[in-house]
Amino acid sequence: MIDPRQVIEGWAVETYGGLIFTVKGVVHPPDRVIAYLRYLPDASGERRAGHGPLQGNTYRRVYREIDQLRALAELHPEYVARDPMLGMVVQSVPWPDVVRVHDPLRRLRELRELRESGATTDIENDAVRLAELIAEAGGVGLGRLGITGSLLVGLDEPSSDLDLLVLGEAAGWAVRDALLALLAEPNGPLKRPNAAALRALHNLHRDDTPLTFAQFCRAQARKVNEGTFAGRGYFLRFVRTAQESGESYGEPSYAPGGEARVSAVVTSAAGALFTPNHYALGDVEFLEGTPVEDLREVVSHRGRFAEQAVSGEAVEAQGRLERVMPGTGSGWHRLVVGGRSGEYLVVRSGLRGTECEKV
Q: Kindly report the CATH number assigned to the domain that includes residue 203.
A: 3.30.460
Co-location of 175 and 267 in the same domain: no
Q: Of 101, 123, 142, at which residue does a domain stop?
A: 101
Checking 275-283 for CB contacts under 8 A at 24+ apart, the result is: 275/9, 275/237, 275/238, 275/239, 275/300, 275/301, 275/302, 275/303, 275/306, 276/9, 276/25, 276/26, 276/300, 276/301, 277/305, 277/306, 277/307, 277/308, 279/308, 279/309, 279/315, 279/345
For the chain, give percent helix, strand, coil, nearest 5.
30, 35, 35
160 inside domain: yes
Global pTM reads: 0.90
Co-location of 142 and 202 in the same domain: yes
Co-location of 130 and 163 in the same domain: yes
Q: Of 101, 118, 142, at which residue does a domain stop?
A: 101
Total domains present in the chain = 3
Q: CATH no. for residue 332? A: 2.40.50
142 inside domain: yes
359 inside domain: no
Co-location of 97 and 111 in the same domain: no
- Please give the pLDDT value at position 219: 72
The CA angle 185-189-190, to the nearest 5 degrees, is 75
Co-location of 255 and 224 in the same domain: no
357 inside domain: no
Co-location of 212 and 237 in the same domain: yes
Contact 306, 255 (CB under 8 A): no
User: 10: Cβ–Cβ under 8 A, 6 or more apart, which residues?
Assistant: 22, 23, 104, 146, 148, 165, 167, 237, 239
Note down pLDDT in tens along the chain; length 359 residues: 566 568 999 999 999 999 999 999 998 999 999 999 999 998 888 888 766 677 778 999 998 889 999 999 999 999 999 998 888 899 999 999 999 999 999 999 999 999 999 999 999 999 999 999 999 999 999 999 999 999 999 999 888 999 999 999 999 999 999 999 999 999 999 998 777 777 777 776 666 666 677 777 777 778 899 999 999 999 999 999 988 988 888 888 999 989 999 999 999 999 999 999 999 999 999 999 989 999 999 999 988 889 999 999 999 999 999 999 987 778 999 999 988 888 889 888 654 443 454 44
Co-location of 94 and 222 in the same domain: no
355 inside domain: no
Is the backbone peptide bond immediately before 30 cis, with ω within 30 degrees of 0? no
- Please give the pLDDT value at position 328: 77
E strands, the chain, in order = 12-15, 20-23, 32-41, 47-48, 58-61, 80-83, 88-94, 98-102, 145-147, 162-167, 190-191, 226-229, 232-239, 253-271, 277-288, 295-300, 314-325, 332-337, 344-347
Co-location of 251 and 297 in the same domain: yes
Co-location of 321 and 213 in the same domain: no
Co-location of 132 and 254 in the same domain: no
356 inside domain: no
Co-location of 225 and 128 in the same domain: yes
3-class secondary structure, 22: strand
CA 231 to chain CA centroid, Å, is 23
Co-location of 167 and 185 in the same domain: yes
Q: Of 242, 264, 296, at which residue does a domain stop?
A: 242
313 inside domain: yes
Residues in the chain: 359
Domain around 95: 4-101
